[in-house]
Structure 1
Amino acid sequence: MLISGLGAFLPDRVPIGWAVERGLIDRSAAEEYGITSVTVAGDTPAPEMAVRACRQALERAEQDAASLSLLLYTSVWYQGPHGWCPQYYVQRHTGAGNATAAEIRQGCMGMFSALELAASHLMAAPEHEAALVTSGDNFTSELLERWRFSPHFVMGDAGSAVVLSRRKGFARLKAVNAVTLPEYEAMHRGPEPLFPPGAGLPNKLDFGDSKDRWLAGPDRDPAGPLKLVAAQDELISRTLEESGITIHDITRVAYANGSRERVEGRAMIPLGLPMSLSTWEQGRTVGHIGASDQMVALEQLLLSGELRGGDHFLMLGVGPGLNIACAVIEILETPHWSSALPATVTAS
């Protein structure tokens, strides 16, 4: 299963010092996290950022949107009017009207499931040529404080897109897996009732508060974090085995864009790899951009030439539910849109 195109839309970055000066985040937290800035889209709709990323991915893939057989839209935050479906907006504005379109709402690891579903779709029938997976989120909202809604994470806005193909590509999706620990479901729910839905209430999302309540309440798993750690270790081992490689073959690792402590403690130390192989230096400039963290990191590394043919890119993600996901991508060649390639000179 090949990757033929990648696209990203990153709005302007806002320095975290700006938020500190306005009391939006504590200075001590900002210094502890090490995040330097986050991308803020203002009034640019989330689906519009996804459309821009999709257009870039399709252009880079030299893929006719009309030939796509599947379009999957991954969302984390609210996308638009109540009862409205963002995937059809993307279809309309990219020309992908022949594709089956669906939205995946699985938190910050939704792109992993979207890749797995898209790959399965393409393998299911020979006439399925290519699929488009995209995500967009704008966290500018009175229902969320992007600078401190969750410990170790500051939310940024972005759009991302990837074109999967059966026939051509500069990279190969070698393996993707996920595991769910539903006993952790209440961790991100907090004390709210299930009805009425939270979208119609004035309460703000506060994952830090809901996690503290879960840890102090009866729903806490007596095994603590040990079950989570064991599940992640097994997931990574299985994904590497399916890829036919070992951890020593991994060139770079992308985890959710959190604080340095979170990326190192949850990803790099368990993997036994140094922080220099992580994408944290890039992630700390954009913040936690929803489900787009890992795909934007991949696009940026290819654009700069930091990933080349023969390299292996490991993606690790986690989301409410509790879901953990892992994927391995092998770079086959430097894509034609990389700035690392020498400029083509046309003879006069």
Structure 2
Amino acid sequence: MKTPDVLISGLGAFLPERVPIGWAVDRGLIEREAAERYGITSVTVAGEIPAPEMAVRACREALERAGQDPVALSLVLYVSVWYQGPHGWCPQYYVQRHTGAGKATAAEVRQGCMGMFSALELAASHLLASDEHEAALVTSGDNFTSPLLERWRFSPHFVMGDAGCAIVLSRRSGFARLKSINAVTLPEYETMHRGPEPLYPPGATLPGKLDFGDSKQRWLTGPDRDPAGALKLVAAQDELVTRTLGEAGVALEDITRVAYANGSRERVEGRAMVPLGLPMSLSTWEQGRTVGHIGASDQVVALEQLLAAGDLGKGDHFLMLGVGPGLTIACAVVEIVETPHWAGVPVRAAG
């Protein structure tokens, strides 16, 4: 979907304390060989800070940076991956209450680790639908401290970190332009992250822990495995990236940095950079390896961190690439049209 009239006016991120992966190795929470192979140095651990509270803190930062009156927001979308709070409770209204965005329509988007892409696409469509829609707030928060999940062994190539992120989209002004965003779903891979577990009763009501590594292994050796294997995923991703770049009017050579899900070096390189034909030096892996896989916040936090450090500036193009259970692949292109007032000054090579 082309979205050249949708601007990014604010970004916010909340990253709790980083815990070195060596700490987890010493306590037997992850095998030393796996930790060394992944290359992840630390993950962010929120302890008892609720996921929606991390989202609120990121939202306040994003709104302040944007100079956005929360009363003028027409939409608030909350992206969740893990459990957010009490049963039957809706986190999006907590965000509304604590940011002053009470006049907006609010909804929760639950689409795994690529949920921010879906929320951004929905928010962009909302803004483009009516001139009366001035700005939208998209946020996410997740705390993976839970007896239902082992953050250090959650899935092959991934160690889970906690974070909150927020992005303000506007029709009026902004420092960046969301030029295009798209997603593709391969529903035949739906069973990959389900395994043999029945749909009823819900897993949250039963003993046991979520283990994506186990469910994927069962899928690979079971009758539902697609004989095309990873080739279908690579082809779908290639078509998606090509289409998104085409809509944005840019080529791969124009891309300054690429953000993929924060996994091991092997996963980021093999699933993103090699298929794109780009070097790892253009990836955000060096930043991602210090926080872990922070749910749906990976790509937005990477963008915020690059801007804050002065590693992106006017004229740069940022490619976001994500994947989530479903199986869904998403892609977006962001152009930096001016350096935001809160960002560092990029250091450019002479000539």
TM-score, normalised via structure 2 length: 0.97
Distance in 2 (CA, whole Å) between partners of 1:29 and 1:214 is 22
For 1:37 and 1:79, locate their aligned partners in 2 and report how far apart those are by CA, in whole Å. Answer: 23
Alignment of 1:224-235 (within 5 A): 224-235=229-240
Q: Counterpart amino acid of 2:269?
A: E
What secondary structure, in the 3-state scheme, does the structure 1 residue paired with 2:245 have? Answer: helix
TM-aligned CA deviation for residue 191 of structure 1 = 1.6
| Aligned mate of 2:98, from 71, 81, 93 | 93
For residue 48 of structure 1, what is the aligned residue in structure 2? 53
Q: Which amino acid aligns with 2:316?
A: D
1:248 partnered with 2:258: no
Tell me how far 1:201 sits from its aligned partner: 1.1
Aligned equivalent of 2:176, options 153, 171, 175: 171
Aligned to 2:285: 280
Equivalent in 4, 12, 28 of residue 7 of structure 1: 12
Task: List alignment gaps of at least 5 residues for structure 2.
Answer: 1-5, 347-351
Structure 1 Cα separation of the partners of residues 93 and 11 of structure 2:
20
Asked if 1:137 is matched to 2:137, the reply is: no
**2-side partners of 1:16 and 1:127: how far apart?**
48
Amino acid corresponding to residue 285 of structure 1 in structure 2: T
1:224 Cα offset (Å): 1.1
Gaps of 5+ in 1: 342-348
Per the alignment, residue 302 of structure 1 pairs with 307
Aligned equivalent of 2:210, options 205, 209, 222:
205
Residue 76 of structure 2 is matched in structure 1 by 71
Please show how residues 309-328 of structure 1 align to structure 2 within 5 Å: 309-328=314-333
Q: Could you tell me how far apart the structure 1 residues matched to 2:256 and 2:344 are?
A: 19
Q: 1:279 is aligned with what amino acid?
A: T
Classify the secondary structure of the residue corresponding to 1:340: coil
Q: Distance in 2 between matches of 1:181 and 1:339?
A: 40
Shift of 1:340: 2.5
Q: Does 2:348 align with 1:337?
A: no
What is the match of residue 184 of structure 1? 189
Alignment of 1:111-122 (within 5 A): 111-122=116-127
What is the distance in 1 between the residues matched to 2:241 and 2:103?
36
Q: How far apart in 2 are the matches of 1:340 and 1:16?
A: 31
SS of residue matched to 2:335: strand
CA displacement at 1:283 relative to structure 2: 0.1
Distance across 2 between alignment mates of 1:149 and 1:157: 13
- Alignment correspondent of 2:276: 271
Deviations along 1:280-325, whole A, 9 cap, x unmatched?
Answer: 0000000000000000000000001100000000000000000000
After TM superposition, give the deviation of residue 190 of structure 1 in Å.
Answer: 1.4
Determine helix, strand or coil for the equivalent of 1:147: helix
Alignment TM-score, normalising by the size of structure 1: 0.97
C-alpha displacement of 1:223: 1.3
Report the equivalent of 2:200.
Answer: 195
User: Shift in Å at residue 226 of structure 1?
Assistant: 1.1
**CA displacement 1:190-226 (0-9 Å, x = unmatched):** 1211000011111100000000000110111121111
Partners of 2:271 and 2:228 lie apart in 1 by: 17
Q: Write out the 4+ residue segments of structure 1 that deviate beyond 3 Å after TM superposition.
A: none
Cα deviation 1:237-285 (Å, max 9, x = unaligned): 0000000010000000000000000000000000000000000000000
For residues 340 and 249 of structure 1, the distance between their equivalents in structure 2, rounded to whole angstroms, comes to 20
Shift of 1:75: 0.3
Alpha-carbon offset, residue 161 of structure 1: 0.1
Task: Report SS of the residue matched to 1:172.
Answer: strand
Q: Read off the aligned partner of 1:35 and give its amino acid letter.
A: I
SS in 2 for 1:257: coil
Distance 1:38 1:141 in 2: 15
Letter in 1 for 2:337: L
Deviations 1:48-74 (A, max 9, x none): 000000000000000000000000000
Q: Which residue of 2 aligns with 1:258?
A: 263
Which residue of the partner structure matches residue 86 of structure 2? 81
Separation in 2 of the partners of 1:211 and 1:197? 19
Question: Using the alignment, how far apart are the partners of 2:15 and 2:159 within structure 1?
Answer: 15
**Structure 2 CA distance, aligned partners of 1:112 and 1:295?**
10
Q: Aligned partners of 1:201 and 1:36: how far apart in 2?
A: 33
User: Which residue of 1 is the match for residue 25 of structure 2?
Assistant: 20
Bigger drift between 171-180 and 216-225 goes to 216-225
Kindly state the Cα deviation for residue 339 of structure 1 after the two structures are TM-superposed. 3.0
CA distance in 1, matches of 2:195, 2:161: 23
Match of 2:67 in 1: 62
CA distance in 1, matches of 2:337, 2:345: 15
Q: Which moved more, 1:1-10 or 1:216-225?
A: 216-225
- Specify the code of the residue in structure 1 equivalent to 2:345: A
Aligned-CA RMSD value: 0.9
* Alpha-carbon displacement from aligned partner over 1:122-146 (angstroms, at most 9, x marks no partner): 0001010000000000000000000
